[in-house]
Structure 1
Amino acid sequence: MEDKEIVLFSRARLAKSFFKRLRGLMGIRGLSEGECLVITPCSSIHTFFMKFDIDVAFVDKDLRVLKIVEDLRPGKLVMPVKGAYSVIEADSRFSSMKDLEVGSKLAIINK
């Protein structure tokens, strides 16, 4: 896998508390272009009561991509991913996750 630097998202929402992790993206109409939700700790998700399709990346504690799910429709369930520590969710309409591969190493840069 070739090393390359790409900006996937310019803004991230963080869901660490029990309530924020439980709520996730339920009840909102979508995320803006360049925006994602990071749910941690998390190894499985559902899209019940959501209003839009999402792209999802499951990552380990080192931010290495373990699994990618594209265009996940509302009302679906993704079973636990072994080794996953966090999940990154983005609106499928704007997602840059199509540039990811399993095994990619992500970095978070605060600006």
Structure 2
Amino acid sequence: MKNTVTIPFAIQTADMFYKRFKGLMFRKEPIQEEGLWIVPCNSVHMFFMSFPIDVVLLNKQKEVIRLVHSLKPWRATKPDNSVYSVLELPVGTIEGLGIRIGDRLEF
């Protein structure tokens, strides 16, 4: 059964080239109770990151296509043409909110 999951954090939108490119790079402290929605985007890299994040890959309807728990620095996700945007969240958010593939996110 598909659920709607509301993200209870402030979500910033990265919808311009520079904001999408920079993302969370160069931040020293892990994000807490915040997230970054990168749109359009079908993969992410963790180069120049100093902390892991949870990554939720979404289609145009904000339905979850894929989940990556605790993506570590200097790693990347594979590009996926079915993915329209990516939501970067603090580690543990996917599990804590019970986000599953097929869920629709609201933020």
Asked which structure has the greater RCO (Cα within 8 Å, sep 6+), the reply is 2
Counterpart position of 1:105: 104
Q: How does 1:1-111 map to 2 (within 5 A)?
A: 1=1, 3=3, 6-28=5-27, 29-32=29-32, 34-92=33-91, 95-98=92-95, 99-108=98-107
The aligned length equals 104
CA spacing shift, 1:82–1:88, aligned 2, 3 Å:
same
User: Is residue 64–residue 100 contact of structure 2 (8 Å, CA) maintained in 1?
Assistant: yes
1:57-91, CA deviations, whole angstroms, 9 ceiling, x for partnerless residues? Answer: 00000001000000110000111123111100012
Separation (CA, whole Å) in 2 of partners of 1:65 and 1:6: 10
Identical columns (%): 33
Structure 1 segments (4+ residues) deviating >2 Å: 5-10
For the aligned residues, what is the CA RMSD? 1.5
Separation (CA, whole Å) in 1 of partners of 2:64 and 2:48: 26
Separation (CA, whole Å) in 1 of partners of 2:77 and 2:5: 26
Question: What is the CA distance between 1:2 and its match in structure 2?
Answer: 5.5
TM (norm. structure 1) is 0.86
Separation (CA, whole Å) in 2 of partners of 1:6 and 1:87: 15
TM (norm. structure 2) is 0.89
